[in-house]
Structure 1
Amino acid sequence: MIDRLESSLSPGRRVRAVAALVVGLAGAVFVAALWGSEPGPLPGRTHLAFALFTVFCLTWAGYGGWLVTRRVPLFATDRVIAGWIGLVASTVTTAVLAVVAVQRGAGLGLVLVAGGLFAGVALVLVVRAHARRAALLRRKRELTGGAEE
Protein backbone atom coordinates (compact mmCIF):
# COMPACT_ATOMS: atom_id res chain seq x y z
CA MET A 1 0.00 0.00 0.00
CA ILE A 2 2.84 2.44 0.79
CA ASP A 3 4.35 1.83 -2.65
CA ARG A 4 1.03 2.89 -4.15
CA LEU A 5 1.17 6.28 -2.39
CA GLU A 6 3.88 7.43 -4.74
CA SER A 7 6.27 5.35 -6.76
CA SER A 8 9.90 6.39 -7.11
CA LEU A 9 9.43 7.79 -10.61
CA SER A 10 6.67 7.18 -13.09
CA PRO A 11 7.66 7.10 -16.77
CA GLY A 12 6.28 10.63 -17.24
CA ARG A 13 8.20 11.98 -14.27
CA ARG A 14 11.35 10.23 -15.45
CA VAL A 15 11.00 11.96 -18.85
CA ARG A 16 10.54 15.32 -17.08
CA ALA A 17 13.61 14.63 -14.92
CA VAL A 18 15.74 13.80 -17.95
CA ALA A 19 14.37 16.90 -19.71
CA ALA A 20 15.34 19.09 -16.72
CA LEU A 21 18.81 17.56 -16.75
CA VAL A 22 19.37 17.92 -20.50
CA VAL A 23 17.77 21.35 -20.90
CA GLY A 24 19.56 22.64 -17.80
CA LEU A 25 22.92 21.50 -19.12
CA ALA A 26 22.19 22.82 -22.61
CA GLY A 27 21.08 26.16 -21.18
CA ALA A 28 24.21 26.42 -19.03
CA VAL A 29 26.44 25.64 -22.01
CA PHE A 30 24.58 28.14 -24.21
CA VAL A 31 24.65 30.96 -21.63
CA ALA A 32 28.31 30.31 -20.78
CA ALA A 33 29.25 30.26 -24.48
CA LEU A 34 27.33 33.48 -25.09
CA TRP A 35 28.95 35.06 -22.03
CA GLY A 36 32.43 34.02 -23.12
CA SER A 37 31.97 35.20 -26.68
CA GLU A 38 30.83 38.74 -25.86
CA PRO A 39 33.29 41.23 -27.33
CA GLY A 40 34.91 43.86 -25.16
CA PRO A 41 34.49 44.53 -21.47
CA LEU A 42 31.00 43.99 -20.09
CA PRO A 43 29.32 46.03 -17.36
CA GLY A 44 29.12 44.45 -13.92
CA ARG A 45 25.36 43.94 -14.08
CA THR A 46 25.76 42.03 -17.35
CA HIS A 47 28.29 39.70 -15.73
CA LEU A 48 25.86 39.27 -12.83
CA ALA A 49 23.00 38.42 -15.18
CA PHE A 50 25.06 35.87 -17.12
CA ALA A 51 26.26 34.31 -13.86
CA LEU A 52 22.73 34.09 -12.45
CA PHE A 53 21.32 32.51 -15.61
CA THR A 54 24.18 30.00 -15.63
CA VAL A 55 23.51 29.14 -11.98
CA PHE A 56 19.77 28.75 -12.66
CA CYS A 57 20.49 26.38 -15.55
CA LEU A 58 22.97 24.35 -13.51
CA THR A 59 20.45 24.18 -10.66
CA TRP A 60 17.82 22.69 -12.97
CA ALA A 61 20.42 20.26 -14.35
CA GLY A 62 21.38 19.25 -10.80
CA TYR A 63 17.72 18.80 -9.91
CA GLY A 64 17.15 16.61 -12.97
CA GLY A 65 20.24 14.53 -12.20
CA TRP A 66 19.20 14.11 -8.57
CA LEU A 67 15.70 13.10 -9.58
CA VAL A 68 16.85 10.54 -12.16
CA THR A 69 19.05 8.81 -9.56
CA ARG A 70 16.30 8.41 -6.93
CA ARG A 71 15.15 4.83 -6.43
CA VAL A 72 12.89 5.39 -3.43
CA PRO A 73 9.47 7.01 -3.09
CA LEU A 74 9.94 10.76 -2.86
CA PHE A 75 6.56 11.64 -1.34
CA ALA A 76 6.40 14.79 -3.49
CA THR A 77 9.81 16.09 -2.35
CA ASP A 78 10.67 16.58 -6.03
CA ARG A 79 7.71 18.89 -6.48
CA VAL A 80 8.65 20.93 -3.43
CA ILE A 81 12.22 21.35 -4.67
CA ALA A 82 11.13 22.25 -8.21
CA GLY A 83 8.66 24.79 -6.85
CA TRP A 84 11.33 26.46 -4.71
CA ILE A 85 13.77 26.56 -7.62
CA GLY A 86 11.12 28.24 -9.75
CA LEU A 87 10.20 30.70 -7.01
CA VAL A 88 13.79 31.71 -6.30
CA ALA A 89 14.65 31.99 -10.01
CA SER A 90 11.59 34.11 -10.81
CA THR A 91 12.06 36.36 -7.79
CA VAL A 92 15.79 36.94 -8.37
CA THR A 93 15.26 37.51 -12.10
CA THR A 94 12.50 40.03 -11.35
CA ALA A 95 14.74 41.85 -8.87
CA VAL A 96 17.65 42.04 -11.32
CA LEU A 97 15.40 43.24 -14.14
CA ALA A 98 13.80 45.82 -11.83
CA VAL A 99 17.23 47.22 -10.94
CA VAL A 100 18.14 47.41 -14.63
CA ALA A 101 14.80 49.09 -15.45
CA VAL A 102 15.32 51.69 -12.72
CA GLN A 103 18.86 52.39 -13.90
CA ARG A 104 17.62 52.89 -17.44
CA GLY A 105 14.59 54.86 -16.32
CA ALA A 106 11.93 52.92 -18.21
CA GLY A 107 9.60 49.94 -18.05
CA LEU A 108 9.59 49.20 -14.29
CA GLY A 109 5.84 48.61 -14.20
CA LEU A 110 5.94 45.98 -16.92
CA VAL A 111 8.89 44.22 -15.25
CA LEU A 112 7.07 44.13 -11.91
CA VAL A 113 3.81 42.89 -13.42
CA ALA A 114 5.47 40.14 -15.48
CA GLY A 115 7.86 39.16 -12.69
CA GLY A 116 5.07 39.24 -10.13
CA LEU A 117 2.99 36.95 -12.33
CA PHE A 118 5.82 34.42 -12.64
CA ALA A 119 6.65 34.61 -8.93
CA GLY A 120 2.96 34.29 -8.04
CA VAL A 121 2.53 31.16 -10.14
CA ALA A 122 5.70 29.71 -8.63
CA LEU A 123 4.43 30.50 -5.12
CA VAL A 124 1.14 28.72 -5.82
CA LEU A 125 3.12 25.69 -7.04
CA VAL A 126 5.25 25.70 -3.87
CA VAL A 127 2.18 25.84 -1.62
CA ARG A 128 0.47 23.04 -3.56
CA ALA A 129 3.64 20.91 -3.46
CA HIS A 130 3.98 21.33 0.29
CA ALA A 131 0.31 20.42 0.78
CA ARG A 132 0.66 17.32 -1.42
CA ARG A 133 3.79 16.22 0.43
CA ALA A 134 2.11 16.73 3.81
CA ALA A 135 -0.90 14.68 2.69
CA LEU A 136 1.30 11.84 1.44
CA LEU A 137 3.37 11.77 4.62
CA ARG A 138 0.21 11.88 6.74
CA ARG A 139 -1.18 8.92 4.80
CA LYS A 140 2.12 7.06 5.17
CA ARG A 141 2.03 7.57 8.95
CA GLU A 142 -1.52 6.25 9.03
CA LEU A 143 -0.54 3.14 7.10
CA THR A 144 2.66 2.42 9.03
CA GLY A 145 1.35 3.22 12.48
CA GLY A 146 3.24 6.46 13.00
CA ALA A 147 6.69 5.53 11.66
CA GLU A 148 8.53 8.53 10.20
CA GLU A 149 9.97 8.79 6.70
Structure 2
Amino acid sequence: MNQENGSTTQVLCPACHTANRVPGARLSEGPICGRCGEALFAGKPVELDAGAFERHVGRGDLPVVVDFWAPWCGPCRVMAPAFAQAAAQLEPAVRLAKVNTEEAQALAARHVIRSIPTMVLFRQGREVARTSGAMGAADIVRWVRSRIG
Protein backbone atom coordinates (compact mmCIF):
# COMPACT_ATOMS: atom_id res chain seq x y z
CA MET A 1 0.00 0.00 0.00
CA ASN A 2 1.14 3.51 -0.72
CA GLN A 3 1.79 5.23 2.58
CA GLU A 4 1.06 8.69 1.17
CA ASN A 5 -2.48 8.15 -0.06
CA GLY A 6 -3.12 4.57 1.06
CA SER A 7 -3.96 3.19 -2.38
CA THR A 8 -2.34 1.07 -5.03
CA THR A 9 -3.53 0.42 -8.55
CA GLN A 10 -3.19 -2.95 -10.22
CA VAL A 11 -1.80 -2.35 -13.72
CA LEU A 12 -1.19 -5.13 -16.22
CA CYS A 13 1.98 -4.99 -18.24
CA PRO A 14 1.34 -4.40 -21.96
CA ALA A 15 4.29 -6.68 -22.84
CA CYS A 16 4.00 -9.75 -20.59
CA HIS A 17 0.48 -9.15 -19.15
CA THR A 18 1.68 -9.57 -15.55
CA ALA A 19 -0.22 -7.72 -12.82
CA ASN A 20 1.80 -5.00 -11.08
CA ARG A 21 0.76 -3.01 -8.02
CA VAL A 22 1.64 0.66 -8.44
CA PRO A 23 1.08 3.35 -5.80
CA GLY A 24 -1.69 5.58 -7.14
CA ALA A 25 0.40 8.70 -6.73
CA ARG A 26 3.18 7.18 -8.88
CA LEU A 27 1.18 6.13 -11.95
CA SER A 28 2.45 9.09 -13.97
CA GLU A 29 6.10 8.54 -12.97
CA GLY A 30 6.89 5.94 -15.64
CA PRO A 31 6.47 2.71 -13.67
CA ILE A 32 7.98 -0.47 -15.11
CA CYS A 33 6.93 -4.10 -14.91
CA GLY A 34 8.42 -6.00 -12.00
CA ARG A 35 8.66 -9.13 -14.14
CA CYS A 36 9.93 -8.07 -17.57
CA GLY A 37 11.13 -4.50 -16.96
CA GLU A 38 9.04 -2.97 -19.75
CA ALA A 39 7.23 0.34 -19.26
CA LEU A 40 3.69 -0.14 -17.94
CA PHE A 41 2.56 2.86 -20.02
CA ALA A 42 3.96 3.24 -23.52
CA GLY A 43 1.48 5.81 -24.82
CA LYS A 44 0.04 3.41 -27.37
CA PRO A 45 -2.74 0.81 -27.48
CA VAL A 46 -2.05 -2.71 -26.27
CA GLU A 47 -2.73 -5.54 -28.75
CA LEU A 48 -4.78 -8.21 -26.96
CA ASP A 49 -5.63 -11.78 -27.79
CA ALA A 50 -8.47 -13.53 -25.95
CA GLY A 51 -6.35 -14.57 -22.94
CA ALA A 52 -4.69 -11.18 -22.52
CA PHE A 53 -8.11 -9.51 -22.91
CA GLU A 54 -9.45 -11.47 -19.93
CA ARG A 55 -6.47 -10.45 -17.79
CA HIS A 56 -6.50 -6.75 -18.69
CA VAL A 57 -10.26 -6.28 -18.49
CA GLY A 58 -10.90 -8.61 -15.57
CA ARG A 59 -7.88 -8.15 -13.31
CA GLY A 60 -6.64 -4.60 -13.81
CA ASP A 61 -7.91 -1.62 -11.86
CA LEU A 62 -7.77 0.81 -14.79
CA PRO A 63 -10.73 1.38 -17.08
CA VAL A 64 -10.01 -0.32 -20.42
CA VAL A 65 -11.24 0.97 -23.79
CA VAL A 66 -11.12 -1.80 -26.37
CA ASP A 67 -11.18 -1.09 -30.09
CA PHE A 68 -12.67 -4.15 -31.81
CA TRP A 69 -11.33 -3.95 -35.38
CA ALA A 70 -10.25 -6.03 -38.40
CA PRO A 71 -7.39 -5.55 -40.87
CA TRP A 72 -9.73 -5.54 -43.90
CA CYS A 73 -11.91 -2.74 -42.45
CA GLY A 74 -11.22 0.65 -44.05
CA PRO A 75 -12.75 2.76 -41.25
CA CYS A 76 -10.76 0.70 -38.71
CA ARG A 77 -7.50 1.50 -40.52
CA VAL A 78 -8.46 5.18 -40.74
CA MET A 79 -9.20 5.31 -36.99
CA ALA A 80 -6.03 3.45 -35.88
CA PRO A 81 -3.75 6.52 -35.72
CA ALA A 82 -6.42 8.52 -33.85
CA PHE A 83 -6.85 5.66 -31.35
CA ALA A 84 -3.07 5.65 -30.80
CA GLN A 85 -3.08 9.43 -30.24
CA ALA A 86 -5.92 9.04 -27.75
CA ALA A 87 -3.92 6.38 -25.87
CA ALA A 88 -1.03 8.81 -25.47
CA GLN A 89 -3.43 11.43 -24.06
CA LEU A 90 -5.43 9.15 -21.75
CA GLU A 91 -2.68 7.09 -20.11
CA PRO A 92 -2.12 6.43 -17.24
CA ALA A 93 -5.76 6.96 -16.22
CA VAL A 94 -7.14 4.62 -18.88
CA ARG A 95 -5.71 1.65 -20.79
CA LEU A 96 -6.51 1.57 -24.53
CA ALA A 97 -6.38 -1.80 -26.24
CA LYS A 98 -7.11 -3.35 -29.61
CA VAL A 99 -8.69 -6.71 -30.40
CA ASN A 100 -8.48 -8.07 -33.94
CA THR A 101 -11.92 -9.61 -34.50
CA GLU A 102 -10.54 -11.88 -37.25
CA GLU A 103 -8.13 -13.50 -34.77
CA ALA A 104 -10.49 -13.43 -31.76
CA GLN A 105 -13.83 -14.28 -33.35
CA ALA A 106 -15.24 -16.00 -30.26
CA LEU A 107 -14.38 -12.98 -28.11
CA ALA A 108 -16.04 -10.63 -30.60
CA ALA A 109 -19.12 -12.87 -30.70
CA ARG A 110 -19.29 -13.04 -26.89
CA HIS A 111 -19.32 -9.23 -26.75
CA VAL A 112 -21.87 -9.01 -29.58
CA ILE A 113 -19.67 -6.97 -31.91
CA ARG A 114 -21.89 -6.45 -34.95
CA SER A 115 -20.03 -3.64 -36.69
CA ILE A 116 -16.46 -2.40 -36.62
CA PRO A 117 -14.79 -0.38 -35.46
CA THR A 118 -16.57 -0.64 -32.13
CA MET A 119 -15.08 0.79 -28.95
CA VAL A 120 -16.18 -0.70 -25.66
CA LEU A 121 -15.33 0.79 -22.26
CA PHE A 122 -14.87 -1.75 -19.48
CA ARG A 123 -14.59 -0.95 -15.79
CA GLN A 124 -13.91 -3.65 -13.19
CA GLY A 125 -14.59 -6.33 -15.79
CA ARG A 126 -17.99 -4.96 -16.86
CA GLU A 127 -19.01 -3.13 -19.99
CA VAL A 128 -20.10 0.40 -19.14
CA ALA A 129 -20.33 2.03 -22.59
CA ARG A 130 -19.88 1.38 -26.30
CA THR A 131 -19.88 3.24 -29.56
CA SER A 132 -19.45 2.18 -33.17
CA GLY A 133 -17.90 3.99 -36.10
CA ALA A 134 -14.59 5.70 -36.74
CA MET A 135 -13.74 8.73 -34.62
CA GLY A 136 -10.92 11.26 -34.48
CA ALA A 137 -8.53 11.43 -31.52
CA ALA A 138 -10.25 14.41 -29.87
CA ASP A 139 -13.64 12.70 -30.15
CA ILE A 140 -12.26 9.46 -28.67
CA VAL A 141 -10.71 11.33 -25.73
CA ARG A 142 -13.93 13.30 -25.17
CA TRP A 143 -16.07 10.12 -25.36
CA VAL A 144 -13.85 8.27 -22.85
CA ARG A 145 -13.53 11.16 -20.39
CA SER A 146 -17.28 11.76 -20.42
CA ARG A 147 -17.84 8.16 -19.35
CA ILE A 148 -15.16 7.68 -16.72
CA GLY A 149 -16.01 10.83 -14.78
TM-score bin (small chain): under 0.3
Larger CA Rg, structure 1 vs 2: 1
TM-score by length of 2: 0.27
Q: Which has the higher helix share?
A: 1
RCO comparison, higher one (Cα < 8 Å, 6+): 1
